[in-house]
Each structure stands twice: as C-alpha cells, then as structure tokens.
Amino acid sequence: MSAEEHARAPVKVPDEEGRMDPTVKVCAGTACVASGSLEIAEKFREAFNGHPELRVQVDEDCLCGQDVGITGCHGFCAAGPLVKVPRVGVMYCRVTEDDVNEIIETTLAKGELVERLLFKDPRDGTPCRNEHDIPFFRKQMRVALRHCGEVDPEDIDDYVRVGGYGSLERALGMQRADVVDEVKRSGLQGRGGAGFPTGFKWQIVGEAEGTKKYVVCNGDEGDPGAFMDRSLMEGDPHAVLEGMTIAAFAVGARRGFIYVRAEYPLAVARLKVAVRQSRERGYLGSKILGRDFDFDVSIVEGAGAFVCGEETALLRSIQGLRGMPRPRPPYPAQEGLWGRPTLINNVETYANVPVVISDGAEKFSEVGTELSKGTKTFALTGNVNNIGLVEVPMGITLREIVYDIGGGIPKGKRFKAAQTGGPSGGCIPAVHLDTPIDYKSLQELGAMMGSGGLVVMDETTCMVKLARFFLEFLVDESCGKCPPCRIGTRVMLNILDGITKGKGTLEDLDVLEKLSRHIQSTSLCGLGQTAPNAVLSTLRHFREEYVEHIEWKHCRACECKEIVGSPCSHACPAGIDIPRYLRESAQERFDQAYLVVRERIPLPHVCGLVCFAPCEARCRRAQLDENLSIRAVKRAAVEYGSHAEPTDFEKPEPSGKKVAVVGSGPAGLTAAYYLARRCGHQVTVFERLPEAGGMLRYGIPRYRLPGESLDHEIDEIIKNAGVEIRTSTRAGSAEELKKQGFDAVFLAIGAHEGFRMNIPGEDQRGIWDGVSFLRRIAEGKDVDPGRRVAVVGGGNTALDAARSALRLGAEAVTVLYRRSQEEMPADPVEVEAAIEEKIDINYLTLPVSVQRQDDELVVDCIRMRLGEADASGRRRPEPIDGSEFQLDVDSIIVAIGQKPGDADKLGVGLGRGDLAVVDPHSLATDSDGVFAGGDFVLGPASVIDAIAHGRRAAVNIDRYLGGSGNIDETFTAPEDLTGIQGPGEEEGARGRLIPEHLVAGSRKEQFVQVERVFTKKQAVTEATRCLHCDLELT
C-alpha cells in the first residue's frame, strides 16, 4: 500500500505479528514533556474527536489500538518534541501545538509529509524522513534502549506485543545455573560504572548460603549529566523488571527493590504502574507464569544523596538508615540487605539481561571489543549539536560519537575535551579522539566509563574550574565517615578555589597530586577513592591551564570570575578596556572611546582594521544571540575620534639610556613608543627595508590596511613620541649594538622567511615564496603572477597572497591546503572574503611535484584524507591512492609557514624553528640586556600579540635599565557609571551588525580598501548590544 492509500484506509489492521501501533506516537520522555509534548498529545486527542474518519475502528479480531500513544525517550532530545506517524513512517521534530492540525490534515488525511517539521541533515540540508535517515541514529545500536521510543511505557500489553517477557518465559524453563552461565558467557559487565562481570556476581549470590536473598536495582543515577537510567526507567520499565525477575530466578531471591532517586518522580510513577500491571498479569507475585517461583518488587525512593549510589550506602538507605558506606568485604553478594545475600545491579545491566537470554551468549558477545562486550548507553550533553541519549557498540571511537552521532561542536567552536564518568571520571582531550571506547581503554587514559555521562566541552570551558566544580560536588556529597574523603577533598577544594581566584602557587600542584594519591588509596568507598580523578585527569592533560592561572592570572576560557573582569578584555593580549570604549561609543563619544583604546596600544587604527579580535571569540553576548562586532566598532571609534590623539604631552625626563630596537613591525614600534614616551629613553629603531611597519607594511595587503593609515600612526604617534626610525639600515648582532653604545636591545625581527615545500621542481621560474610575493607588491615593484595562479597553504599569508594575485590580474586563483576547512588557520573572515571573490579553495589537497611545460607549470597534486590524530590533536592528513590529478598554472605561490630569517646572526639563543628563546615573563634572552618579542619569539602570530609583546618588553627593558617599568598611560577621566543598566527585559535577540563590504566584482583590479567603516549610527547600535560584563550587572 502506498502512503496515501494507507492514510485513507479507515480501518487499522494489525501487522503480521498482531501488533497495532497508534495513529500518532508522541514522545513523553522528560525533556519532551518539559517542552510540552503532553499538551501536544492532548491536542491530538481533541482533534481526533473532530475527525472521526481518522479514528481507529475496533474489530473483534484486532487488538485495540489507540489514536494517540505516548512513548519513552528516543534519545534525540535536541530535536524534541518528537511526534511519529508509524503508518507513514515519519518522525517529526520540534513539533509545537500549532503544528497539530497541519499534521492531521497533511500527513494523516493525505499521507503527505510536512517538510518543515522533518529533521534536516546539518551537512547539506537534506530532509530526513525517520530514524533510518537521521545521522544521529545511524551509528547507534539500541539494545538496552530497544523499546524506548517505540512502546508505551504505561501499557504492559505494548511491551508483550513486541516480545516482552518472552525471555522470562525462556529462562524459567532453564536450570538456574544455566541462566547464570549464559550471563557469564555473554561477557556482560555491570553498567553502573565499575564494570564488574555480571554473571560472576550472580554466581556468588546464587551460591551463597541462605534461603532469603534479595535482588536490588540501583536506580540512583546521581552523576550530573547522566540520564540514561532515567530514560530507561521512564521509557521501558518492564525491561528492567523482566531483567530483575530473571535475575531473581537465577540467584534464588524472592524479594526485589528498585531504588530510584527522588529527583526522578516520573520514573517512580512509571515503575509503580509497571509493577502493578505486572502483578495483574502474573509476571510478578506468586507462581509466576505458572511456575514454582515467587518474586515481588517494591519501589523505594531515595532522598537526595549522591553517595547512595554506592552499593553499601544504598542498601543502608533502603533499611531506613543514614546512607553511609561500610568497608567491603563482606560484599553485598554475601552480606547485603539485612545481612542477607543481595544481588545489586544497575538499571542498564538489567535491561540487557532479557537480550542475553533471548539472543544467547554467543550472539550477544559478537558485539563489542575483546574485553568489553555489548553496547553502552551514553548521555551526550554539553557543547555538542545533537544533545541526547545514545547507545553504541563498545569499541566505537569517541570521534564517531561526538561528530557522526553528536553532529560536532556548535557555533563554530572546537572540541576541547569530553568528560566521562561524571565527577568520578576524567577528561579526554582532542588527541585521544580516536580511542575506541571500552572499559580498559578509558581507564588507561585516566578517565572512566562510569555510568555513561559524556559531556563535551569547547574552548569556553575552563578545565581548572571544571575540576573545582566536580570536587565541590563530591565535597558536598561526601558522607563524612572517613577522614581522607571528608577532610582531604575539602583541602583539595580549597587549593583549587585559590587557583581559580588567582591566588595559587606552583607548589599547590605538587600538593594536589600527593594528596590525590593518599585520598585514592585510603578512602573507605568509591566516592572518596575516585574523588581526585577529575583533578588528576585535568592536570595530566591540561596542566598548562593550571600554570596559566597561577603564573599569569590568566584563564584562557575566560570563566574564572575573580581573575576575569570581562571576558573580552581578558582575552585581549593588550588588555584593552573594551566594555568602556563600547559604552563611550554607544553614547557617540568617539573621542573618549578612541582615548580608551589609546591608553593600551599605540596603533589603534591598525588594530581597528586588521585585528583578528580574540575578544569577539569570548563575547558573552553570543549566548544570547551573536557576539558583538567589537573590532568594527573600534575602527569606527578610531576614525571618528582620532582627532583626540594627545599629540602635545609632557616629555619625560631623559633617562640618559639608549635602546636599540631591531625591526619596525608592531612589536618593535610598540616597545619603542613606550620606552621613549613614558620612560624617557633614547630609542633608535633599525629597519632593513625601505619603509617602517614590518608585516604591517610588507605583509598585510593594502586592501586590508591602507598605507596612509599606517603612515599616519607611525608619524603621529610613534615618531611623535621621539622615536628615531632608521630605514634601509641593517642592525648588526646584539653584541655589536651594545658596543655601539646601546644599553639594551630589543630584537623584533619577525618571521619573514617562508618554508620550502621540499618537492621536486620547486626551484624554478614562476614559483614564489608568499612573503616575498607580498613584499614586492608593497614595495610597488612590478609583479605579474599570470592568469592562473596556485597558492599553497592555508594561513593568512596564503589568503593574502591569493587575494592579491587576483588584484594583479589573475583570473583563476586556486588555493591548495592539505588539511580540512575546520583546521584552516586563516581568519575565517578572510576565507569568506576569498570565497566571495571566487577564489577556489581546495581542501585536503597536496602538491607533490612541479614541472615546467613550455609556458606553464604543471603541478601534480594528490587528494588527502584525515587519519589519526597526532600529538597536537590534529588529524594527520594521508594521501588517497589513485586520487592524483594535475593543475596547469602560470605561477605558484608557496605560503606554508614562516620562520625568522638570518636569526643566527643576532647572537641569541634560538629554539625550534629558529625562534628566540626567552623568559616568558620578561622576554629576556640568554644575553644580558637583550630582549626579544613578537613573531621572532612566537612564530607567525598576530598584530595584537606582537603589540602585547612590545608592551611587555618595554616594561622589562625599563626595569633592566633601572626604571620603574611603569608604562601606564591615562588619557581619560574615571568613568561615570551612574545610570548604566544591563540589558532590559525588552532585550530580545538582535543579530550582530557587520560592516559593509565592496561588492566582490568591483574589488578585483584595485587594492582599494574592501571593508567600509560603520556609520556613526551603526557603531552606536552595535555598541549598545554590549552586556557590560565588567560591571557584572547580569
């Protein structure tokens, strides 16, 4: 029957197995319920009353179905509320009450789909009809969750119809010992976290002495971020009951308890309904299924204690006592509830048992790895697109879970780490994304399988604060019985607290590690024993963040409140007071805004034009709608307010000292400025090229940074401060400069030498080095790259070269980058502009050799694919055999990296890549009185990083020369903050304004500036979106 025919058929018939699905199935998992799914179900019911032709007709031979059924959680929480129409085989997402009528009229009446309610594959937008198409489900293997989303958890008949209680029947026909054996051979391990072999535990209980035994289900899922057991109890309670009953039979127990957290009222309710229905049908109670086997179950509610997830504490709680663990042995299997042998297993473990019995041990153990059989549910949450509940075979990689199932990281952020095992677990960084998930591999990484919580984090999560968060949780939940846990964790928390507040010391890290080992080895129960895990794990994989907090009072995620004022200022390497200049701009006081910027940097227009804006990546407004276009506002403030430049100033007392600065890029110019203007030193800048500016002049093309703007700031600000710049002058080595009478030297030579490709045919006519190419253009020399140009590389130099080549007359410019788009280091704004200008970017492509054929160059290329991650966490590209192809071009520009040129001639210690080795705080080299900074130290970095180095160098050089090292400048009065309010209630979502650009077509033949400055009105509008995070109003 076609979909339309189905839809028109008035009578529903049972399928081959005699089951009938309701017309409409609405997900009633907690998340969907909270999003209004029950109201949607109700609306459907009301609507069906008005559409009798859609109702189910009841026939004596047909089992009675319902119009609207509810199901348990599908796991696809990110797309809820979910509504399925089984006879059309469609799953609708993000349904609202307003959609109900349309679904009835379109899908039920006509059998057609409501396109806008279908899930769209985020990669290409294809609509997905149901679970088979949706990427989230495709790599999953739902075993424990097999019925969740399919059956009505409050209808035992639905469960039986899909084969439920068939395993119980089978088991009751076996010998008890054979049931235990089946579970043993299946390799099923406890799913609560520890992974103890389930069958083995059953055997111990089964063989224990005594006739009164108990079976307990641990439903105290306390890990924050875990909701697998909740979904199971709410979505398929009978699976849990069936597993427990089989277990009871196997071990000889007659009473069972399901201990459920009090925070799960819906799970408690659904379990009680299930128990009642089971009793009514004879699956619980006396003489189950007519056999000589009695078993009944009570539901016991917890009362909000995480430690009651620990088995001995849980048993004490059932007994009405304080939930405090006790030493083991004896284990509950021998002495449990009221001293009797007690089998205690996790919810998910029980849910797997019916499958073990019906499939048999061999089949069950076909899935998984050698040591971890079967599947595992995970609650995938945090900074990931497809938040929800998933179940996957053991051995799947973390990368597949996060990217293929989870859909990757939202908002263009990058994967930083995944936390498994809740507060007792550990974090897994990007370099281990290809780890196959199983109990052993996770343990080796210092993480833990745990109950299944999998929280994904991006770069806006501070790992130190995260460790503190988990530790605080455990300190709170510690039962207090044993000193290592009660006292030790609190001491650790105090230390971590200090670190997040900028008060830590490096010794603290040693104390943390030592204390951790003590607490691990001497705590009474699992809570204490695993409490240090989060700290140890973050120290192991993210130690540099701890060091940054301690040594630099810097939190790179901008989360630690006491260290971070506003995240934007904290992220700015020069510490510009961004919220203040945004406030001034919002009130059109652009001159004041200009001065605020000028207080921290001497090149405000340059930054307003080309800074890559690390501030924007941390702007908190992004959580509301979009981050602010901070840089564009700054540019506007500068252009409308730079007349306020304080050109007349009181010159400082001459210090009598002379400083040589080698290199007139942003690092050198900045250091020179402060040393001259604030510290009174006599500064001479040596620049080997004909004009000052370094990469600002010779690297960044004119259409991004016009020459006049650069000249203006160099003249009006740098030179006006008294700095002498000697162009076309090579400096000697640092020693030679000292002999010439300079008291200190700052080496800021940048990184101007391009890397070679090291491929055959590389040294011939028509192949340019990227930096040299850009320099020739800036020098005004004649450059003709020809009609067809290939640019090799993926950084800013490569894109600058590509866009410049276009403006020199090239018609077809192709960029070849060996990694993927996600990994491309170039500023995304630049990449977008290049694409607009019709530059063809070939990702995962590598040139292998070049030959000249008459007038053109033939480049042999090969396509790449991403293999396993290397030490930096990036996946190594591997060539794909047979994917070779050729490109015919007129010239090739190579921009695959840069290093400092002629660095060895300066006479200071160099490290990897010829970068200067310096003390990170003072920027001092190994040579007395000689300092280094900018790209010479960092490698190709950014303008603002170089400026920040210039400031740091000035401070330390001044101190070296006997000064105070104070380079603070004040051009504004203290801000008047009366009347400043946070965003009001009316503040709805408002996207960011971006500056207008020249239309792509009109850019090509000129190096005319592409980006237009905001109008004053635009600048004001954008600036008013600021949330004033520095004032902590919100």
Partner 1 sequence: MSDAFTTNGASEPSGFFGAEQAQITEDLDPAIWSEIDDFLANNPGGQERLIPLLHMVQESVGYLPFATQEYIADKLGLSPAQVYGVVSFYNFFTTTPRGRYQFKVCMGTACYVRQAQRLVDALRVDLNVELGGLSEDGLFNLDQARCLGACGLAPAVMVNNRVHGELTRLKMQRLVRSLRSQSDKKPKDGPDGSGGEASR
Interface contacts to partner 1, rule CB under 8 A: 28, 30-31, 33-35, 38, 70, 77-78, 80, 154, 221-227, 230, 262-266, 269-270, 273, 300-306, 317-324, 379, 381-383, 387-389, 419, 422, 453, 455, 457, 461, 469-470, 473, 477, 479, 623-624, 985, 987-988, 1034
Q: Give the residue with the Cβ less far from partner 1, 909 or 982.
A: 982
- CA–CA separation, 601 vs 951, rounded Å? 8
Amino acid at 497: D
How far are the Cα atoms of 391, 591, 949, 971 from residue 388, in angstroms, in the given order? 10, 50, 45, 52
Q: How far is the CB of 624 from partner 1 (least distance, A)?
A: 7
- CA–CA separation, 159 vs 256, rounded Å? 21
With contact defined as beta carbons under 8 Å apart, do 896 and 913 qualify? Answer: no
- CA–CA separation, 3 vs 1, rounded Å? 7
Q: Give the residue with the Cβ less far from partner 1, 202 or 470.
A: 470
Q: How far is the CB of 851 from partner 1 (least distance, A)?
A: 53
Q: Give the residue with the Cβ less far from partner 1, 266 or 536.
A: 266
Question: SS in 3 state form for 81-116?
Answer: CCEEEHHHCEEECCCCHHHHHHHHHHHHHHCCCCHH
* Among 512, 411, 393, CA closest to 456: 411
Q: Give the residue with the Cβ less far from partner 1, 9 or 64.
A: 64
Q: How far is the CB of 261 from partner 1 (least distance, A)?
A: 8
* Among 1014, 1013, 976, 1019, CA closest to 586: 1019
With contact defined as beta carbons under 8 Å apart, do 223 and 209 qualify? Answer: no
Q: Give the residue with the Cβ less far from partner 1, 285 or 766.
A: 285
**Phi/psi of residue 248, nearest 5 degrees:** -60, -45
Q: How far is the CB of 402 from partner 1 (least distance, A)?
A: 14
Q: Give the residue with the Cβ less far from partner 1, 323 or 665.
A: 323
127 backbone φψ class: left, alpha, beta (φ>0; ψ -120 to 50): beta
Helix%, strand%, coil% for the chain, nearest 5? 40, 15, 45
Q: How far is the CB of 401 from partner 1 (least distance, A)?
A: 15
- CA–CA separation, 53 vs 4, rounded Å? 14
Q: How far is the CB of 251 from partner 1 (least distance, A)?
A: 21
Strand-pair partners of 813: 789
With contact defined as beta carbons under 8 Å apart, do 646 and 612 qualify? Answer: no
The gap between the terminal CA atoms of the chain, to the nearest Å, is: 58
- CA–CA separation, 119 vs 134, rounded Å? 7
- CA–CA separation, 697 vs 708, rounded Å? 10
DSSP assigned state of 684? E
Sign, CA torsion 442/448/454/460: negative
Q: Give the residue with the Cβ less far from partner 1, 167 or 461.
A: 461
Q: Give the residue with the Cβ less far from partner 1, 248 or 463.
A: 463
Q: Give the residue with the Cβ less far from partner 1, 453 or 750.
A: 453
**Phi/psi of residue 168, nearest 5 degrees:** -60, -45
Q: Give the residue with the Cβ less far from partner 1, 302 or 786.
A: 302
- For 157, other C-beta atoms within 10 Å of its C-beta total 14
* Among 196, 195, 199, CA closest to 177: 199
Provide CB contacts within 8 A for 33, sequence distance 6+.
266
Q: Give the residue with the Cβ less far from partner 1, 542 or 612.
A: 542
Q: Give the residue with the Cβ less far from partner 1, 879 or 983.
A: 983
Sign, CA torsion 78/83/89/90: negative
Q: Give the residue with the Cβ less far from partner 1, 81 or 602.
A: 81
* Among 667, 674, 673, CA closest to 746: 667
Q: How far is the CB of 29 from partner 1 (least distance, A)?
A: 8
Residue keyed to tokens 């119009």: 67
**Phi/psi of residue 15, nearest 5 degrees:** -80, -170
Q: Give the residue with the Cβ less far from partner 1, 33 or 402.
A: 33
With contact defined as beta carbons under 8 Å apart, do 6 and 13 qualify? Answer: no
Q: Give the residue with the Cβ less far from partner 1, 305 or 449.
A: 305
Q: How far is the CB of 432 from partner 1 (least distance, A)?
A: 19
The alpha carbon of residue 606 and the mean position of all alpha carbons in its chain are separated, in whole angstroms, by 32
DSSP-derived secondary structure for 427-441: EEEGGGTT-B-SHHH
Q: Give the residue with the Cβ less far from partner 1, 228 or 695.
A: 228
Q: Give the residue with the Cβ less far from partner 1, 263 or 434.
A: 263
Q: How far is the CB of 537 from partner 1 (least distance, A)?
A: 14
Strand-pair partners of 880: none
How far are the Cα atoms of 687, 688, 896, 1002, 1008 from residue 728, in angstroms, in the given order? 6, 4, 28, 36, 27
Burial of 241 (0-12, 13-18, 19+ CB in 10 A): buried
Q: How far is the CB of 34 from partner 1 (least distance, A)?
A: 4
Q: How far is the CB of 274 from partner 1 (least distance, A)?
A: 10
Q: How far is the CB of 346 from partner 1 (least distance, A)?
A: 15
∠ CA 447-453-455, nearest 5°, is: 80
Q: Give the residue with the Cβ less far from partner 1, 323 or 374.
A: 323
